[in-house]
């Protein structure tokens, strides 16, 4: 009789324990996604903060590149205005800013004095490092989103996800292949 009672309790407790474990894992993964997005956001904000210094430096040497600099400033302002948005709301403006930044850095080749300016060289180096860190943070975020989304979609964890309202998260992807690459600058 005791064996039957122990077996019945075990049969009833195992699903409850599994449910708690799955729920807690969803919560941990969601927190990891939030933290990894914060890492992407920090790097994007760092890039936004470097843009005004770059524009000011380039303006001193290349005043007739005003349209190019104006488009970079406008793209930076649009991206900064969306700093609190989710990834899918920011991808397009971040791509636009990346293209504008790459265009400005490409035009620098026409200005030997600017290429020799130590302040500009330091900004170039910081921007390249920041772009590398953005790419790494984006990969880490997307890796965590992929793992979470897989759990949301696979059995039996999909049942727990449905019961407790866990839904898939968007990836932070760049659709423009030019925006996927780090701007190449001559250091």
Closest by Cα among 164, 167, 169, 163 to 146: 169
Domain boundaries in the chain?
2-164
| The CATH fold of domain 2-164 | de novo design (two linked rop proteins) (1.20.1440)
Enumerate long-range contacts of 89-96, CB under 8 Å, 24 or more apart: 90/44, 90/172, 91/172, 91/173, 91/174, 91/175, 94/44, 94/174, 94/179, 95/174, 95/175, 95/176, 95/179
Query: Which pLDDT score, from 0 to 100, does residue 176 have?
Result: 54
Task: Write out residues in the chain with pLDDT < 50, as ranges.
Answer: 177-180, 182-183, 185-187
Measured in residues, the chain has a length of: 187
**For residues 43 and 129, is the Cβ–Cβ distance under 8 A?**
no
């Amino acid at each position: 009789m005791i064996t039957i009672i122990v077996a019945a309790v075990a049969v009833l407790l195992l699903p409850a324990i599994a449910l708690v474990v799955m729920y807690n894992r969803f919560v941990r993964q969601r927190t990891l996604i939030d933290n990894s997005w914060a890492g992407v956001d920090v790097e994007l904000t760092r890039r936004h903060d470097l843009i005004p210094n770059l524009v000011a430096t380039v303006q001193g040497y290349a005043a007739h590149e005003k349209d190019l600099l104006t488009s970079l400033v406008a793209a930076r302002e649009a991206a900064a205005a969306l700093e609190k948005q989710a990834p899918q709301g920011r991808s397009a403006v971040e791509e636009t800013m990346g293209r504008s930044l790459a265009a400005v850095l490409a035009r620098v080749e026409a200005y030997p004095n600017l290429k020799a300016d130590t302040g500009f060289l330091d900004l170039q180096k910081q921007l390249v490092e920041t772009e590398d860190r953005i790419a790494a943070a984006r990969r880490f975020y997307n890796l965590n989103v992929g793992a979470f989304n897989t759990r949301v979609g696979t059995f039996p964890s999909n049942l727990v996800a449905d019961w407790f309202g866990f839904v898939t998260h968007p990836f932070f992807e760049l659709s423009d292949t030019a925006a996927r690459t780090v701007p190449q600058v001559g250091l």
